[in-house]
Amino acid sequence: MSSYNGFSSPVTLSVSGLPAGISANFSNTVVTPGTTTQLTVTNTSGAVGNYTLLLNGISGAINKSMDFTVGSSLGVGIPTLTSPANNATNIGSLPSLTWAATTNATTYQLQISRRPDFNSLVLNELGITTNSYTVVAPLSGYSEYYWRTCSQFMWNW
């Protein structure tokens, strides 16, 4: 929290507007300008989607509030890669990649790399709406590639 106009008094923070069953806790509920706190929202397993919450700050007679939005994509499964199989060879330069569809996924992200740590991407395709993708830019022959997918729900990975 930063100071405004020389304000230096402690501020008590709270959050309201949480869906039923969800809880939110600050690492420090009382902060002074120049210090930080962390808000942790838990028990989100049944609350997939975006929620607008209200952050409240009180210091003496001063009471300020602001809206903010949080999202939960819990419940989106992890895709299982189905084809080509692990360590497959001779898959061609324009392979079709498939994976098992996952619960609640609206899109998928696909990455192809020459490195198992994915630090150098050959392909990073976002917004795939099916559980398959055919490579359109030829991959180099006699090379080793790694691929992975990630389920997405309404926003990014």
Q: Measuring CA to CA, which residue among 127, 131, 123 is closest to residue 107?
A: 127
* pTM of the predicted structure, to 2 decimals: 0.54
DSSP state of 33: T
Confidence of residue 156 (pLDDT cuts 50, 70, 90): very low
Domain with CATH 2.60.40.10 in the chain: 81-152
Q: Which helix (H) or strand (E) holds 56?
A: strand 49-59
Q: 81-152 sits in which CATH class?
A: mainly beta
Please say whether the beta carbons of 157 and 73 come within 8 A.
no
Q: 152 versus 56: which is more confidently predicted?
A: 56
pLDDT at position 74 over 80: no
DSSP state of 64: E
Cα 28-33-37 angle, rounded to 5 deg: 25
pLDDT at position 155 over 50: no
User: Over pLDDT 90: what percentage of the chain?
Assistant: 48
Confidence of residue 15 (pLDDT cuts 50, 70, 90): very high
Token representation of residue 80: 């299982």
pLDDT at position 90 over 80: yes
- Phi/psi region, residue 34 (left: phi>0; alpha: psi -120 to 50; beta: rest), is left
